[in-house]
Copies of this chain bind each other. A is one copy, B any other.
Amino acid sequence: MSNSRPIGVFDSGIGGLTVVRALTHYLPHENIVYFGDTARVPYGPKSPQVVREYSAQDADILLQHNVKAIVVACNTVSAVALDVVQKRAKIPVIGVIFPGAEAAVKATRKKRVGIIGTIGTVNSNAYTNAIRQFDAEVQVFSQACPLFVPLAEEGWMDHKATELIAKEYLFPLTLEKIDTLVLGCTHYPLLKDVIGKVLHNNVTLIDSGEATAKAVATMLEAEGLQNTSKLKSNLQFYVSDIPQKFTEVGERFLGQKLGKVHRVAALAM
């Protein structure tokens, strides 16, 4: 039994394309519908209440496309509103927190894990709680890095200022002698090189998007939801602002051309 219905993926904006990139790598024949809420981005600094309201609407947009599963690519949403999406959808819903937490627990040797993310993600303690569920002995140290998103969006991957900012944010984590660091925001994989450099390349970096793509593959198999077609998959992109900037910057995040990007009709706030 093959299931050609698309996987729905949503994010506050463009960052979730790094998760789509990983999905297309592990699941090259799965169709994907992506929604990026570019008219209200970012979610990271906003309150859990507002993020929960927005997430319900984002899920509804994907559900209109008859998706067979929803991947919450946004770490902030996964941290504070996964239950909202799960309650709304009668299909499997996977966020990025649990797969990222599990990968970190597997990777750490000294049971000392760092988490970096938005203010919303870090304040939620979602990664810490998830890691403790996998292994209660792991010690978790968190740091919000609000400037990393604008730096990644500006494309300042190897700028001296980015390195200085990374040093300032990551210094408290190096004092805690972490051996594993979760990149707890979809934008951060773009800053992997500078983060690695600041940590002297002796800390294992966990890309939650990668871990999530593997978890989605496992889930599809377990639920019998795979698309066994060998046809080239179809990727569809929707955004809430006009598509121009998303189309221009998106290629850097997706690792390939996006094709046509559509604007969705107005959302209620």
Contacts and interface: CB of A to CB of B under 8 A. Distances in A.
Given A147-B151, A161-B164, A266-B268, 4 more contacts: A46-B241, A160-B164, A267-B269, A268-B268
A201 interface: no
Interface residue range, chain A: 20 to 34
Interface stretch (A28-36, A37-45, A102-110, A126-134): A37-45
A45 B42 CA distance: 11
A146 interface: yes
Contacts of A251: none
A242 B168 contact: no
A165 B240 CA distance: 30
A154 B161 contact: no
A255 interface: no
Contacts of A260: none
Contact of A46 (B38, B46, B53): B38
- Assembly of this chain: how many copies? 2
A136 interface: no
A161 B165 CA distance: 6
A154 B147 CA distance: 8
Contact of A153 (B146, B154, B245, B267): B146
A202 interface: no
Given A47-B244, A245-B47, A154 B164 contact: no
Interface string A57-73: 00000000000000000
Contact of A164 (B38, B164, B240, B266): B164
